[in-house]
Amino acid sequence: MRQLRTRFPFQANRIRPLVRRMAKGAVLASSAALAVSCAAADAPAVSRTAADQSGWPPAPVVALTDQPEPSLVVDTPLADQLAMGLVVIRYRAENLHIVPVYGTNAVDVSPRIGHIHVTVDDAPWHWADASGEPLIIQGLPRGPHKVWIGLANPMHKVMDSKTVEFTIP
Ligand SMILES: [Cu+2]
């Protein structure tokens, strides 16, 4: 699949405020954890068995040293809307948080972040989206279509992709 390099000249301006917010969040989280641990001193002991069982995701407050590969799950267009000519496609990323943060420094953050690229009907171009919201495409002509969605890292390297095909009646 073709990939067009998309330039985001605002990268540095987008990352700095995020880092500041993350630092504030870390301070607040530390304070909250301290408050909880102080309160827990008077509370009965809590069993750790649940947290130790396999199947629990890693705690998001700890940097992940070994992240599973990211993957993309794409649903078929919502039937009722498709019948009216409106294409609504739900998707979700696994092992990746969709956020509008870009650039080389964002590639190695933990948990992993990224966004999607979208191409309709093999167009030679795509658009990028970092909202995480369902795709809404209106105005496609009747007939068969396909939408390709690529899950990209903050440097726009596609790590997984899916194609959904459908027909507008
Ligand atoms: Cu991209």
User: Contact at 8 Å (CB) between 75 and 150?
Assistant: no
Q: What is the amino acid identity at position 93?
A: A
pLDDT digits (tens, 9 = 90+) for 104-126: 999 989 999 999 999 999 999 99
pTM, two decimal places = 0.65
Positive or negative torsion for Cα 57, 58, 61, 64: negative
Q: How far is the CA of 103 from the centre of ligand 1 (A)?
A: 10
Give the start-to-end residue ranges of the domains of the chain: 11-168
Q: How far is the CA of 66 from the centre of ligand 1 (A)?
A: 23
pLDDT digits (tens, 9 = 90+) for 4-51: 444 444 444 554 555 455 545 444 444 444 444 444 445 555 555 554
Q: How far is the CA of 115 from the centre of ligand 1 (A)?
A: 6
Q: How far is the CA of 69 from the centre of ligand 1 (A)?
A: 18
Q: How far is the CA of 30 from the centre of ligand 1 (A)?
A: 33
Q: State which fold the 11-168 domain adopts.
A: Immunoglobulin-like (2.60.40)
